[in-house]
Amino acid sequence: QVHLVESGGGLVQAGGSLRLSCAASGRIFSINVMGWYRQAPGNQRELVAVMDSGGDSTYADSVKGRFTISRDNAANTVYLQMNSLKPEDTAVYYCNLKSRSSVAPGNEDTWGQGTQVTVSS
């Protein structure tokens, strides 16, 4: 059982920056993948950035060069640094964690509650 708590969303002008945080708690034996997704009104939920257990990252083309995913392993926390924000970045952002709860094989898939990011022109 894993619980994720997100923070850091808000209102910012175009060209500004925000940093999102996601803290994980509960039974975590090991982490497979952690990442961020977003969903804007009228759109599908889409991948923004993910990081595997070795620290390798993958980004959506729309955010490459502007967003950076990072983590604090000791605190079980993942971050999303968002720079040069654009109005099209406006969405609800969700944290996601794929983990194992024991030595037995099998993944647990956990989602955060979502945090609103609004970028004005």
CB neighbours of residue 56 within 10 Å? 8
At residue 87, the pLDDT reads: 98
d(CA 47, CA 63): 10
d(CA 88, CA 90): 5
Over the Cα atoms of the chain, what is R_g?
Answer: 14
Mean pLDDT within 2-14 = 96
Q: From its phi and psi, is residue 29 left (phi > 0), alpha (psi between -120 and 50) or beta?
A: alpha
What is the pLDDT of the chain when averaged over all its residues?
94
18-53 residue pLDDT tens:
999 999 999 888 888 999 999 999 999 999 999 998
DSSP type of residue 88? G
Which range of 43-47, 75-79, 98-102 scores highest in mean pLDDT? It is 43-47
At residue 121, the pLDDT reads: 92
What DSSP string describes 1-30?
A: -EEEEEE--EEEETT--EEEEEEEEE--SE
What share of the chain has pLDDT > 90, as a percent?
A: 81
Mean pLDDT within 11-23 = 98
Q: 106 pLDDT exceeds 90?
A: no
Beta bridge partners of 52: 33
Give the 3-state secondary structure of residue 61.
coil
Mean pLDDT within 1-5 = 92
Mean pLDDT within 3-30 = 95
